[in-house]
């Protein structure tokens, strides 16, 4: 089954309006892989990026893996910012998903914070159907 859609008047009213949510997904390489293994630095960068984008923070949770790398989430009133890192490859992935605020400002802040040398950005508008 490819997809099931239930009849919903609210969905019909939403059609062709602005998106419910924006998602920015980023695969990136850094010139400083040590940053990607520093949980306090990464947490601080994601929190500052949310503030830079005028996005309200609820909480955060980060996990440092035993050998290297980390995963982290900053939970927002508007959704979340997440990161997963592989310092051994100088590589990380970010997702900025918001219903409000200015996610592009968060992205620009994080490009500098993580000293990105190469990156691929995919933007998705969610809730347009």
Q: Is 63 one of the catalytic residues?
A: no
Structure tokens, 33: 């892989």
Q: Is 80 one of the catalytic residues?
A: no
Structure tokens, 14: 């939403």
Candidates 60, 80, 82, 99; catalytic one: 99
Structure tokens, 103: 């996610």
Candidates 63, 79, 80, 82; catalytic one: 79
Q: Is 90 one of the catalytic residues?
A: no
The span from the CA of 56 to the CA of 66, in Å, is: 31
Candidates 56, 71, 84, 90; catalytic one: 84
Q: What angle do CA 73, 119, 127 make, to 5 degrees?
A: 55
- CA 61, distance to chain mean position in Å, is 14
Active-site residues: which are they?
79, 84, 99
């Amino acid at each position: 089954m490819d997809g099931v859609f239930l009849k919903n008047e609210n969905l019909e009213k939403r059609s062709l309006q602005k998106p419910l949510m924006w998602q920015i997904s980023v695969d990136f390489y850094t010139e400083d892989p040590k940053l990607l293994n520093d949980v306090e630095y990464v947490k601080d960068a994601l929190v500052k990026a949310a503030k830079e984008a005028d996005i309200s923070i609820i909480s955060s949770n980060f996990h440092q893996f035993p050998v290297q790398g980390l995963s982290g989430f900053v939970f927002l009133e508007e959704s979340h910012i997440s990161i997963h890192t592989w310092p051994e490859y100088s590589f990380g992935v970010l997702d900025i998903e918001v219903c409000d605020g200015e996610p592009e400002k968060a992205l620009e802040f994080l490009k500098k914070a993580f000293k990105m040398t190469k990156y691929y950005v995919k933007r998705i508008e969610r809730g347009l159907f």
